[in-house]
Amino acid sequence: MNEQLSILEQLPDDFLTLEPFNIRQVFPNPTLLHLKGNKSPPLFVSILLHGNEITGLKAMQSVLSRYEDILPRSLYLFIGNVAATEKNQRYLSNQVDYNRCWPGTDMPPNNITDLMLKVFEHVTQKPLFAAVDVHNNTGTNPHYAGITSVTQENQHLAAMFNHIALVYQHPKGVSTMAFNQVCPAVTLECGKPGDDAGILHAADYLDSLLHMDHLPQRPVAAHDLQLVKSLATLNIPDNVSFDFNLNAQVDLTFETGFERKNFTEIKTTDVFAHTRVDRPLAITNEYGEDVTDQIMRIENGRVYLNKTLIPAMITLDKTIIRQDCLCYLLADYHS
């Protein structure tokens, strides 16, 4: 799919009322909006990099509906994968993942890496106040922020959203990692798509950034922010069948409520899954290196972890698992 970038200097009349299924009636292509405000430098916000993660759209509709005239701060709003949004999919079968294509990606050059480079170069010609990328999880997770560098400003951005933040270096090519090179940058994980609490939380957060004169100049208090780091990514190989039903006749089974393990400690004695094959999971570290045998062991058909770790972003959506991953494994950042 050969996507073209549209750049607009004015909010379309129908923006505040459009729904994801008809987004292309207003935005036929990925679109960068540049809206002038009282303060500068601008805030950069990216939404719909994954088409079925609609909280960013709903949050920005809420924020922009609060201002009839001029914004408190200038704003760049990038509206990403509108084709997938229209179909309520993360990305279409003939597309690549829009949040793996930003500068710094290890993906071969393609039309979307070119598009993201164009967006990045356009908005970074002058300083930015901060960059915020709004996402959802498909599984049950608390709201949390993600940062790729533990700077004082990034920690303040994260702590403003919630008391827990994920520090990660993989996957490459995500928006936050690219923008972290030029300004404070954060990813917001706002729970399941369309959840009212997530929409309100994101909207109030973004509105606060539009009003701020500057980020705090003092360190973040230790009790205000718990940092965790991503140690590993869990994938299920394509030749391994799986289900979230312990009675299913498949290669790998998880308990029905598996997603409730998100952000809970899994000890070395806790059964993580059940399997009838020798290599039911492929586990890689932040550098993409295979660490399966270091992280996982199998005893009598039961899968265990070799160290106490914290799963996050578990999803039960089999399509997302095949497209992306089963989950990530976290540890305390300072351990």
DSSP string, 81-104: -HHHHHTT-SS-TTS--GGG-STT
Q: What is the pLDDT of residues 105-139, one digit of tens each?
A: 999 999 999 999 999 999 999 999 999 999 998 77
Confidence grade of residue 151 (pLDDT, cut at 50, 70, 90)? very high
Confidence grade of residue 3 (pLDDT, cut at 50, 70, 90)? confident
* pLDDT cut 90: percent of the chain above it: 88
- 3-class state of residue 120 by DSSP: helix
Average predicted confidence (pLDDT) for the chain = 95
What's the rounded Cα separation, in Å, for the pair 93 and 67? 38
What's the rounded Cα separation, in Å, for the pair 276 and 301? 6
Look up tokens 């809206």; give the residue. Answer: 35
Q: Is the pLDDT of residue 288 over 60?
A: yes
Q: Are 11 and 56 contained in the same domain?
A: yes
| C-alpha to C-alpha distances, 70 to 14, 49, 66, 73, 287, nearest whole angstrom | 18, 26, 10, 8, 44
Domain holding 247, by residue range, is 230-332
Q: What is the pLDDT of residues 226-274, one digit of tens each?
A: 999 989 999 999 999 999 999 999 999 999 999 999 889 999 999 999 9
Domain boundary among 224, 254, 273: 224
Supply the pLDDT for residue 236.
Answer: 98
Q: Give, as one character, the DSSP assignment of residue 108.
A: P
Q: Average pLDDT in the 283-302 region?
A: 94
Q: Are 215 and 250 contained in the same domain?
A: no
* pLDDT cut 70: percent of the chain above it: 99
Q: Are 107 and 80 contained in the same domain?
A: yes
Q: What is the pLDDT of residues 11-66, one digit of tens each?
A: 999 999 999 999 999 999 999 999 999 999 999 999 999 999 999 999 999 999 99
Domain boundary among 180, 206, 224: 224
| C-alpha to C-alpha distances, 226 to 221, 229, 333, nearest whole angstrom | 10, 10, 8
Q: What is the pLDDT of residues 69-88, one digit of tens each?
A: 899 999 999 999 999 999 99
Task: Return the H-helix or E-strand segment holding 164.
Answer: strand 164-167
Supply the pLDDT for residue 138.
Answer: 79
1 domain-assigned: no
Q: Can you give the CATH number for the domain in which 93 is found?
A: 3.40.630.10
96 domain-assigned: yes
Burial 167-180 (b: 16+ CB within 10 A, else e): bbebbbbbbbbbbb
Domain boundary among 224, 244, 271: 224
Q: Are 197 and 324 contained in the same domain?
A: no
- C-alpha radius of gyration, the chain, whole number: 20
Number of folded domains that form the chain: 2
Q: Are 101 and 148 contained in the same domain?
A: yes
Confidence grade of residue 208 (pLDDT, cut at 50, 70, 90)? very high
| C-alpha to C-alpha distances, 109 to 80, 102, 104, 116, 257, nearest whole angstrom | 18, 10, 11, 11, 40
Residues 6 or more apart whose Cβ sits within 8 Å of residue 67? none
Q: Is the pLDDT of residue 97 over 70?
A: yes
Supply the pLDDT for residue 2.
Answer: 61
Supply the pLDDT for residue 242.
Answer: 98
Q: Are 269 and 302 contained in the same domain?
A: yes
Q: Are 133 and 189 contained in the same domain?
A: yes
Supply the pLDDT for residue 222.
Answer: 85
Task: Return the H-helix or E-strand segment holding 59.
Answer: helix 55-64
Cα separation of the two ends of the chain: 44
Q: Are 268 and 312 contained in the same domain?
A: yes
- Tally the residues of the chain: 335
Q: Are 148 and 270 contained in the same domain?
A: no
Supply the pLDDT for residue 1.
Answer: 55
